[in-house]
Structure 1
Amino acid sequence: MGSSSGQGSSYDLSFKILLIGDSGVGKSSLLVSFISSSVDAPAPTIGVDFKIRQLTVGGKRLKLTIWDTAGQERFRTLTSSYYRGAQGIILVYDVTRRETFTNVSDVWAKELELYSTNQDCVKMLVGNKVDRESERAVSKEEGIALAKEHGYLFLECSAKTRENVEPCFEELALKIMEVPSLLEEGSTAAKRNILKPTQEYQGPPPSSGGGGGCSCS
Protein backbone atom coordinates (compact mmCIF):
# COMPACT_ATOMS: atom_id res chain seq x y z
CA MET A 1 0.00 0.00 0.00
CA GLY A 2 2.63 2.57 1.00
CA SER A 3 5.70 2.52 -1.20
CA SER A 4 8.94 2.94 0.67
CA SER A 5 11.07 4.90 -1.74
CA GLY A 6 9.53 5.95 -5.04
CA GLN A 7 10.85 8.35 -7.64
CA GLY A 8 11.55 11.98 -6.91
CA SER A 9 9.01 13.20 -9.44
CA SER A 10 6.09 11.20 -8.03
CA TYR A 11 5.12 13.56 -5.20
CA ASP A 12 4.15 17.21 -4.74
CA LEU A 13 5.22 17.77 -1.13
CA SER A 14 7.80 16.25 1.20
CA PHE A 15 7.39 16.43 5.00
CA LYS A 16 9.49 15.26 7.94
CA ILE A 17 7.54 13.74 10.84
CA LEU A 18 9.03 12.82 14.22
CA LEU A 19 7.69 10.22 16.67
CA ILE A 20 8.60 10.82 20.33
CA GLY A 21 7.53 9.37 23.68
CA ASP A 22 8.59 6.91 26.38
CA SER A 23 10.14 3.57 25.55
CA GLY A 24 7.55 0.84 24.96
CA VAL A 25 4.56 3.08 24.15
CA GLY A 26 4.41 1.61 20.64
CA LYS A 27 6.06 4.27 18.46
CA SER A 28 7.78 1.69 16.25
CA SER A 29 4.62 -0.44 16.09
CA LEU A 30 2.63 2.63 15.04
CA LEU A 31 5.12 3.34 12.28
CA VAL A 32 5.29 -0.27 11.06
CA SER A 33 1.49 -0.44 11.08
CA PHE A 34 1.31 2.71 8.96
CA ILE A 35 4.04 1.69 6.52
CA SER A 36 2.81 -1.88 5.99
CA SER A 37 -0.11 -4.04 7.00
CA SER A 38 2.09 -5.89 9.50
CA VAL A 39 1.09 -5.80 13.15
CA ASP A 40 4.09 -7.78 14.43
CA ALA A 41 5.84 -6.04 17.30
CA PRO A 42 9.15 -4.63 16.05
CA ALA A 43 12.36 -4.77 18.08
CA PRO A 44 13.07 -1.75 20.32
CA THR A 45 14.56 1.17 18.43
CA ILE A 46 18.26 1.76 19.04
CA GLY A 47 18.86 5.48 18.66
CA VAL A 48 16.90 6.57 15.60
CA ASP A 49 15.25 4.81 12.67
CA PHE A 50 13.19 6.21 9.81
CA LYS A 51 10.76 5.02 7.19
CA ILE A 52 9.23 6.62 4.12
CA ARG A 53 5.66 6.36 2.90
CA GLN A 54 3.99 8.09 0.00
CA LEU A 55 0.27 8.78 0.09
CA THR A 56 -2.31 11.16 -1.31
CA VAL A 57 -3.95 13.55 1.15
CA GLY A 58 -6.15 16.52 0.27
CA GLY A 59 -5.53 15.99 -3.43
CA LYS A 60 -1.73 16.25 -2.99
CA ARG A 61 0.81 13.47 -3.37
CA LEU A 62 2.92 13.47 -0.22
CA LYS A 63 6.19 11.89 0.74
CA LEU A 64 6.37 11.46 4.53
CA THR A 65 9.76 10.69 6.04
CA ILE A 66 8.91 9.48 9.54
CA TRP A 67 11.65 9.40 12.16
CA ASP A 68 11.21 6.96 15.04
CA THR A 69 13.24 7.87 18.12
CA ALA A 70 14.28 5.68 21.04
CA GLY A 71 12.57 6.65 24.29
CA GLN A 72 15.37 5.47 26.58
CA GLU A 73 17.30 8.13 28.46
CA ARG A 74 20.68 6.91 27.18
CA PHE A 75 19.72 7.67 23.59
CA ARG A 76 18.28 11.10 24.33
CA THR A 77 21.40 13.04 23.23
CA LEU A 78 21.30 11.28 19.87
CA THR A 79 17.83 12.49 19.08
CA SER A 80 18.07 16.25 19.63
CA SER A 81 19.38 16.88 16.11
CA TYR A 82 16.49 14.93 14.59
CA TYR A 83 14.03 17.62 15.67
CA ARG A 84 15.65 19.97 13.18
CA GLY A 85 13.37 20.80 10.27
CA ALA A 86 10.47 18.56 11.36
CA GLN A 87 7.11 19.86 10.12
CA GLY A 88 5.12 17.46 12.32
CA ILE A 89 5.76 15.83 15.70
CA ILE A 90 3.70 13.00 17.18
CA LEU A 91 3.92 12.52 20.96
CA VAL A 92 2.89 8.96 21.82
CA TYR A 93 1.80 7.56 25.18
CA ASP A 94 0.39 4.20 26.26
CA VAL A 95 -3.20 4.44 27.57
CA THR A 96 -2.48 1.48 29.91
CA ARG A 97 0.57 3.12 31.58
CA ARG A 98 -0.14 6.41 33.35
CA GLU A 99 3.53 7.36 33.75
CA THR A 100 3.92 7.51 29.96
CA PHE A 101 1.06 10.00 29.89
CA THR A 102 2.52 12.08 32.75
CA ASN A 103 5.86 12.15 30.94
CA VAL A 104 4.26 13.86 27.94
CA SER A 105 4.18 17.08 30.00
CA ASP A 106 7.11 16.37 32.32
CA VAL A 107 9.60 15.24 29.68
CA TRP A 108 8.53 15.31 26.05
CA ALA A 109 6.71 18.65 25.78
CA LYS A 110 9.74 20.31 27.41
CA GLU A 111 12.20 18.52 25.12
CA LEU A 112 10.11 19.49 22.11
CA GLU A 113 10.20 23.18 23.10
CA LEU A 114 13.94 22.94 23.67
CA TYR A 115 14.94 21.21 20.43
CA SER A 116 12.25 21.93 17.84
CA THR A 117 13.62 24.48 15.37
CA ASN A 118 10.32 25.02 13.60
CA GLN A 119 8.00 27.44 15.38
CA ASP A 120 5.04 26.49 13.14
CA CYS A 121 5.58 22.74 13.52
CA VAL A 122 2.26 20.85 14.01
CA LYS A 123 2.09 18.60 17.10
CA MET A 124 -0.23 15.69 17.74
CA LEU A 125 -0.82 13.76 20.98
CA VAL A 126 -1.58 10.08 20.37
CA GLY A 127 -2.81 7.59 22.97
CA ASN A 128 -1.82 4.12 21.75
CA LYS A 129 -2.99 0.59 22.72
CA VAL A 130 -6.75 1.26 22.93
CA ASP A 131 -7.22 -2.42 22.04
CA ARG A 132 -6.36 -3.11 25.71
CA GLU A 133 -9.43 -1.26 27.01
CA SER A 134 -9.73 -3.37 30.18
CA GLU A 135 -6.23 -2.22 31.24
CA ARG A 136 -6.83 1.47 30.47
CA ALA A 137 -5.21 3.82 33.00
CA VAL A 138 -5.72 7.11 31.14
CA SER A 139 -9.17 8.23 30.00
CA LYS A 140 -9.82 9.70 26.58
CA GLU A 141 -11.09 12.88 28.27
CA GLU A 142 -7.73 13.30 30.02
CA GLY A 143 -5.95 12.95 26.70
CA ILE A 144 -8.21 15.56 25.08
CA ALA A 145 -7.66 17.96 28.01
CA LEU A 146 -3.85 17.60 27.86
CA ALA A 147 -3.80 18.11 24.10
CA LYS A 148 -5.94 21.24 24.47
CA GLU A 149 -3.65 22.57 27.20
CA HIS A 150 -0.58 22.27 24.95
CA GLY A 151 -2.30 23.15 21.68
CA TYR A 152 -1.83 19.68 20.17
CA LEU A 153 -4.09 17.67 17.89
CA PHE A 154 -5.40 14.52 19.60
CA LEU A 155 -6.21 10.96 18.58
CA GLU A 156 -6.38 7.55 20.22
CA CYS A 157 -5.33 4.53 18.21
CA SER A 158 -4.15 0.93 18.27
CA ALA A 159 -1.05 -0.06 16.34
CA LYS A 160 -2.06 -3.68 16.93
CA THR A 161 -5.51 -3.53 15.31
CA ARG A 162 -4.52 -0.57 13.07
CA GLU A 163 -7.49 1.41 14.43
CA ASN A 164 -6.99 5.13 13.63
CA VAL A 165 -3.40 4.57 12.46
CA GLU A 166 -3.95 5.98 8.95
CA PRO A 167 -6.07 8.95 10.20
CA CYS A 168 -3.32 9.80 12.68
CA PHE A 169 -0.77 10.55 9.94
CA GLU A 170 -3.34 11.86 7.44
CA GLU A 171 -4.81 14.40 9.89
CA LEU A 172 -1.33 15.57 10.81
CA ALA A 173 -0.41 15.98 7.12
CA LEU A 174 -3.61 17.93 6.42
CA LYS A 175 -2.88 20.31 9.30
CA ILE A 176 0.71 20.79 8.11
CA MET A 177 -0.64 21.69 4.65
CA GLU A 178 -2.80 24.41 6.26
CA VAL A 179 0.30 26.25 7.53
CA PRO A 180 1.73 28.41 4.70
CA SER A 181 5.36 28.29 5.91
CA LEU A 182 5.30 24.48 6.27
CA LEU A 183 3.59 24.06 2.91
CA GLU A 184 6.35 26.15 1.35
CA GLU A 185 9.03 24.00 3.03
CA GLY A 186 7.37 20.80 1.82
CA SER A 187 7.09 22.14 -1.71
CA THR A 188 10.73 23.29 -1.76
CA ALA A 189 11.93 19.89 -0.50
CA ALA A 190 9.92 18.10 -3.20
CA LYS A 191 11.21 20.41 -5.96
CA ARG A 192 14.79 19.96 -4.80
CA ASN A 193 14.38 16.22 -5.22
CA ILE A 194 12.72 16.47 -8.61
CA LEU A 195 15.43 18.73 -10.01
CA LYS A 196 18.24 16.43 -8.94
CA PRO A 197 18.03 14.14 -12.01
CA THR A 198 19.29 15.62 -15.27
CA GLN A 199 16.56 18.08 -16.03
CA GLU A 200 18.55 20.69 -17.89
CA TYR A 201 18.38 20.64 -21.65
CA GLN A 202 21.93 20.85 -22.93
CA GLY A 203 21.13 21.62 -26.55
CA PRO A 204 22.19 19.52 -29.55
CA PRO A 205 25.76 18.22 -29.64
CA PRO A 206 28.19 20.26 -31.74
CA SER A 207 28.12 19.28 -35.40
CA SER A 208 31.08 17.13 -36.38
CA GLY A 209 31.10 17.95 -40.09
CA GLY A 210 32.13 21.33 -41.50
CA GLY A 211 28.99 23.36 -41.93
CA GLY A 212 28.22 25.62 -44.79
CA GLY A 213 29.05 28.94 -43.05
CA CYS A 214 26.63 31.82 -42.80
CA SER A 215 25.69 33.87 -45.78
CA CYS A 216 25.86 37.35 -44.40
CA SER A 217 25.18 40.30 -46.59
Structure 2
Amino acid sequence: MATGSYGDASQKIDYVFKVVLIGDSAVGKSQILARFSRNEFSLDSKATIGVEFQTRTLLIHHKSVKAQIWDTAGQERYRAVTSAYYRGAVGAMLVYDITKRQSFDHIPRWLEELRSHADKNIVIILIGNKSDLEDQRDVPIEDAKEFAQKEGLFFLETSALESTNVETAFLTVLTEIFNIVNKKNLVASEDRGNGNPASLAGKKIVIPGPAQEIPVKSKLCCRSS
Protein backbone atom coordinates (compact mmCIF):
# COMPACT_ATOMS: atom_id res chain seq x y z
CA MET A 1 0.00 0.00 0.00
CA ALA A 2 1.44 3.35 -1.01
CA THR A 3 -0.11 6.72 -0.35
CA GLY A 4 1.19 10.23 -0.68
CA SER A 5 0.46 13.85 0.03
CA TYR A 6 1.51 16.90 -1.97
CA GLY A 7 4.29 18.79 -0.26
CA ASP A 8 6.45 17.40 2.49
CA ALA A 9 4.88 16.20 5.69
CA SER A 10 6.53 17.01 8.99
CA GLN A 11 7.01 13.37 9.96
CA LYS A 12 10.36 11.62 10.18
CA ILE A 13 11.70 10.62 6.76
CA ASP A 14 12.77 6.96 6.58
CA TYR A 15 14.13 7.00 3.03
CA VAL A 16 15.08 9.52 0.34
CA PHE A 17 15.00 8.15 -3.22
CA LYS A 18 16.39 10.17 -6.12
CA VAL A 19 14.58 9.57 -9.42
CA VAL A 20 15.59 11.18 -12.72
CA LEU A 21 13.40 12.07 -15.69
CA ILE A 22 15.07 11.74 -19.06
CA GLY A 23 14.02 11.94 -22.69
CA ASP A 24 13.82 14.39 -25.58
CA SER A 25 12.71 17.99 -25.11
CA ALA A 26 8.94 18.65 -25.23
CA VAL A 27 7.83 15.09 -24.43
CA GLY A 28 6.21 16.33 -21.20
CA LYS A 29 8.78 15.49 -18.52
CA SER A 30 8.18 18.72 -16.59
CA GLN A 31 4.41 18.26 -16.83
CA ILE A 32 4.67 14.73 -15.46
CA LEU A 33 6.78 16.09 -12.59
CA ALA A 34 4.33 18.92 -11.88
CA ARG A 35 1.38 16.51 -11.92
CA PHE A 36 3.05 14.13 -9.49
CA SER A 37 4.66 16.64 -7.12
CA ARG A 38 1.94 19.32 -7.01
CA ASN A 39 -1.01 17.86 -8.95
CA GLU A 40 -0.68 20.72 -11.43
CA PHE A 41 -0.68 21.01 -15.22
CA SER A 42 0.13 24.12 -17.23
CA LEU A 43 -0.85 24.49 -20.89
CA ASP A 44 1.77 27.20 -21.42
CA SER A 45 4.68 25.33 -19.87
CA LYS A 46 8.09 26.65 -20.92
CA ALA A 47 11.12 24.52 -21.74
CA THR A 48 13.22 23.51 -18.76
CA ILE A 49 16.55 25.35 -18.58
CA GLY A 50 19.28 23.27 -17.00
CA VAL A 51 18.09 21.17 -14.05
CA GLU A 52 15.32 21.46 -11.49
CA PHE A 53 13.85 19.08 -8.96
CA GLN A 54 10.74 18.66 -6.84
CA THR A 55 10.04 16.50 -3.83
CA ARG A 56 7.01 14.67 -2.54
CA THR A 57 6.73 12.54 0.58
CA LEU A 58 4.78 9.29 0.42
CA LEU A 59 3.96 6.43 2.74
CA ILE A 60 5.06 3.05 1.36
CA HIS A 61 4.51 -0.04 3.51
CA HIS A 62 4.15 2.21 6.58
CA LYS A 63 7.49 3.92 5.93
CA SER A 64 7.90 7.60 5.05
CA VAL A 65 9.63 7.95 1.68
CA LYS A 66 10.73 11.29 0.23
CA ALA A 67 10.88 11.13 -3.56
CA GLN A 68 13.37 13.63 -4.96
CA ILE A 69 12.51 13.90 -8.66
CA TRP A 70 15.05 15.55 -10.97
CA ASP A 71 14.08 17.01 -14.34
CA THR A 72 16.50 18.24 -16.97
CA ALA A 73 16.24 19.86 -20.36
CA GLY A 74 16.27 17.37 -23.22
CA GLN A 75 18.25 19.66 -25.52
CA GLU A 76 21.75 18.55 -26.45
CA ARG A 77 23.41 21.71 -25.13
CA TYR A 78 22.52 20.78 -21.55
CA ARG A 79 23.98 17.29 -21.73
CA ALA A 80 27.08 18.49 -19.86
CA VAL A 81 25.15 18.15 -16.58
CA THR A 82 25.09 14.40 -17.11
CA SER A 83 27.37 12.95 -14.44
CA ALA A 84 26.08 15.11 -11.57
CA TYR A 85 22.51 14.62 -12.73
CA TYR A 86 22.65 10.82 -12.55
CA ARG A 87 24.79 10.58 -9.41
CA GLY A 88 22.91 8.87 -6.60
CA ALA A 89 19.82 8.14 -8.71
CA VAL A 90 18.06 4.88 -7.80
CA GLY A 91 15.17 5.25 -10.25
CA ALA A 92 14.68 6.63 -13.75
CA MET A 93 11.71 7.50 -15.93
CA LEU A 94 12.49 7.27 -19.64
CA VAL A 95 9.89 9.46 -21.36
CA TYR A 96 8.79 9.75 -25.00
CA ASP A 97 5.80 11.36 -26.72
CA ILE A 98 3.41 8.83 -28.31
CA THR A 99 2.68 11.40 -31.08
CA LYS A 100 6.36 11.88 -32.01
CA ARG A 101 8.07 8.81 -33.41
CA GLN A 102 11.46 10.49 -33.24
CA SER A 103 11.21 10.86 -29.46
CA PHE A 104 10.69 7.08 -29.21
CA ASP A 105 13.47 6.33 -31.69
CA HIS A 106 15.85 8.30 -29.42
CA ILE A 107 15.00 6.17 -26.36
CA PRO A 108 17.81 3.62 -26.94
CA ARG A 109 20.34 6.47 -26.90
CA TRP A 110 18.91 7.86 -23.65
CA LEU A 111 18.92 4.36 -22.14
CA GLU A 112 22.55 3.86 -23.13
CA GLU A 113 23.49 7.18 -21.53
CA LEU A 114 21.56 6.28 -18.39
CA ARG A 115 23.21 2.90 -18.07
CA SER A 116 26.68 4.32 -18.64
CA HIS A 117 26.33 6.97 -15.90
CA ALA A 118 23.90 5.55 -13.33
CA ASP A 119 24.10 2.63 -10.92
CA LYS A 120 23.67 -0.66 -12.77
CA ASN A 121 20.80 -1.66 -10.48
CA ILE A 122 18.74 1.47 -11.13
CA VAL A 123 14.98 0.86 -11.51
CA ILE A 124 13.79 2.07 -14.92
CA ILE A 125 10.31 2.62 -16.32
CA LEU A 126 9.58 3.50 -19.96
CA ILE A 127 6.79 6.07 -20.24
CA GLY A 128 4.79 6.93 -23.35
CA ASN A 129 3.31 10.33 -22.47
CA LYS A 130 0.35 12.21 -24.00
CA SER A 131 -1.94 9.17 -24.20
CA ASP A 132 -4.84 11.66 -24.39
CA LEU A 133 -3.76 12.37 -28.00
CA GLU A 134 -4.70 8.92 -29.28
CA ASP A 135 -5.90 10.32 -32.61
CA GLN A 136 -2.35 11.64 -33.23
CA ARG A 137 -0.54 8.47 -32.13
CA ASP A 138 2.69 7.82 -34.03
CA VAL A 139 4.14 5.11 -31.74
CA PRO A 140 2.14 1.85 -31.57
CA ILE A 141 1.89 0.57 -28.01
CA GLU A 142 3.14 -2.81 -29.22
CA ASP A 143 6.47 -1.25 -30.27
CA ALA A 144 7.00 0.20 -26.79
CA LYS A 145 5.98 -3.03 -25.07
CA GLU A 146 8.41 -5.01 -27.20
CA PHE A 147 11.28 -2.61 -26.46
CA ALA A 148 10.54 -2.59 -22.73
CA GLN A 149 10.36 -6.38 -22.65
CA LYS A 150 13.67 -6.69 -24.48
CA GLU A 151 15.44 -4.22 -22.18
CA GLY A 152 13.84 -5.39 -18.93
CA LEU A 153 11.98 -2.15 -18.22
CA PHE A 154 8.63 -1.42 -16.66
CA PHE A 155 6.25 0.30 -19.09
CA LEU A 156 3.23 2.58 -18.87
CA GLU A 157 1.48 5.11 -21.06
CA THR A 158 0.54 8.30 -19.22
CA SER A 159 -1.28 11.55 -19.71
CA ALA A 160 -0.01 14.42 -17.59
CA LEU A 161 -2.93 16.50 -18.93
CA GLU A 162 -5.60 14.05 -17.74
CA SER A 163 -3.51 12.74 -14.81
CA THR A 164 -3.73 9.21 -16.21
CA ASN A 165 -1.24 6.69 -14.77
CA VAL A 166 1.19 9.38 -13.56
CA GLU A 167 0.75 8.35 -9.93
CA THR A 168 0.94 4.67 -10.87
CA ALA A 169 4.17 5.18 -12.79
CA PHE A 170 5.94 6.87 -9.88
CA LEU A 171 4.60 4.38 -7.34
CA THR A 172 5.78 1.48 -9.52
CA VAL A 173 9.34 2.83 -9.48
CA LEU A 174 9.37 3.93 -5.83
CA THR A 175 7.81 0.70 -4.53
CA GLU A 176 10.28 -1.39 -6.52
CA ILE A 177 13.18 0.64 -5.08
CA PHE A 178 11.71 0.29 -1.60
CA ASN A 179 11.44 -3.49 -1.95
CA ILE A 180 15.04 -3.78 -3.18
CA VAL A 181 16.39 -1.60 -0.37
CA ASN A 182 14.53 -3.62 2.23
CA LYS A 183 15.75 -6.87 0.72
CA LYS A 184 19.32 -5.55 1.11
CA ASN A 185 18.58 -4.59 4.71
CA LEU A 186 17.22 -8.07 5.36
CA VAL A 187 20.37 -9.65 3.96
CA ALA A 188 22.50 -7.35 6.13
CA SER A 189 20.46 -8.28 9.17
CA GLU A 190 20.91 -11.99 8.47
CA ASP A 191 24.66 -11.45 8.09
CA ARG A 192 24.80 -9.77 11.48
CA GLY A 193 22.88 -12.68 12.96
CA ASN A 194 25.51 -15.06 11.58
CA GLY A 195 28.33 -13.03 13.06
CA ASN A 196 29.32 -11.62 9.69
CA PRO A 197 29.80 -7.92 9.00
CA ALA A 198 26.72 -6.18 7.59
CA SER A 199 28.51 -4.94 4.50
CA LEU A 200 26.52 -5.04 1.27
CA ALA A 201 29.63 -4.76 -0.87
CA GLY A 202 29.70 -7.36 -3.60
CA LYS A 203 26.11 -8.43 -3.11
CA LYS A 204 24.21 -8.55 -6.36
CA ILE A 205 20.73 -7.04 -6.18
CA VAL A 206 18.69 -8.32 -9.10
CA ILE A 207 15.94 -6.06 -10.36
CA PRO A 208 13.25 -8.02 -12.17
CA GLY A 209 11.75 -5.86 -14.90
CA PRO A 210 8.98 -7.43 -16.95
CA ALA A 211 7.39 -4.95 -19.32
CA GLN A 212 3.96 -3.99 -18.09
CA GLU A 213 1.39 -1.77 -19.67
CA ILE A 214 -0.30 -1.25 -16.32
CA PRO A 215 1.42 -2.69 -13.24
CA VAL A 216 -1.09 -4.82 -11.38
CA LYS A 217 -2.10 -3.71 -7.93
CA SER A 218 -0.87 -6.85 -6.21
CA LYS A 219 2.61 -6.25 -7.66
CA LEU A 220 2.67 -2.73 -6.22
CA CYS A 221 1.57 -4.04 -2.86
CA CYS A 222 3.14 -7.31 -1.99
CA ARG A 223 5.73 -8.31 -4.54
CA SER A 224 8.03 -11.11 -3.52
CA SER A 225 10.77 -12.07 -5.91
Q: Same fold (TM over 0.5)?
A: yes
Q: Does 1:70 align with 2:70?
A: no
Q: Highest relative contact order (Cα 8 Å, sep 6+), 1 or 2? A: 1
Give the match's secondary structure for 1:131. Answer: coil
RMSD of aligned residue pairs (Cα, Å): 1.7
Q: CA deviation at 1:183?
A: 6.3
Q: Which residue of 1 aligns with 2:158?
A: 157
* Deviations 1:147-180, CA, capped at 9 Å, x for gaps: 1111111111000000001001001111111213
Q: Distance in 1 between matches of 2:8 and 2:180?
A: 26
1:103-122, aligned counterparts within 5 Å?
Answer: 103-105=106-108, 107-116=109-118, 118-122=119-123
Q: TM-score scaled by structure 1?
A: 0.78
- Tell whether the 8 Å contact from 1:121 to 1:182 is kept in structure 2 after alignment: no
Residue 51 of structure 2 aligns with which residue?
Answer: 48
How many residues in Structure 1 have an aligned counterpart in Structure 2?
Answer: 181
Residues 147 and 27 (structure 1 numbering): CA distance in 2 closer, same or farther, change over 3 Å? same
Instruction: Kindly state the Cα deviation for residue 79 of structure 1 after the two structures are TM-superposed.
Output: 3.0
Q: Paired residue for 1:211?
A: none
Residue of structure 2 aligned with 1:95, choices 90, 95, 98? 98
Larger radius of gyration: 1
Percent pairwise identity: 40
Q: Shift of the alpha carbon at 1:11?
A: 2.3
Quick check: 1:4–1:51 contact (8 Å CA) kept in 2? no
Conservation of the 8 A alpha-carbon contact between 1:176 and 1:182: no
For 1:65, the aligned partner's letter is Q
Secondary structure in 2 matching 1:137: coil
* 2:63 corresponds to: 60
Check 1:80–1:135 CA distance in 2 against 1; reply closer, same or farther (3 A cut): same
Q: Quick check: 1:14–1:62 contact (8 Å CA) kept in 2?
A: yes
Contact kept, 8 Å, 2:7 with 2:38, in 1: the verdict is no
Encode CA deviations 1:174-202: one digit per residue, 9 max, x unaligned: 11112138965xxxxxxxxxxxxxxxxxx
**Alpha-carbon displacement from aligned partner over 1:51-74 (angstroms, at most 9, x marks no partner):** 000111233221000000110000
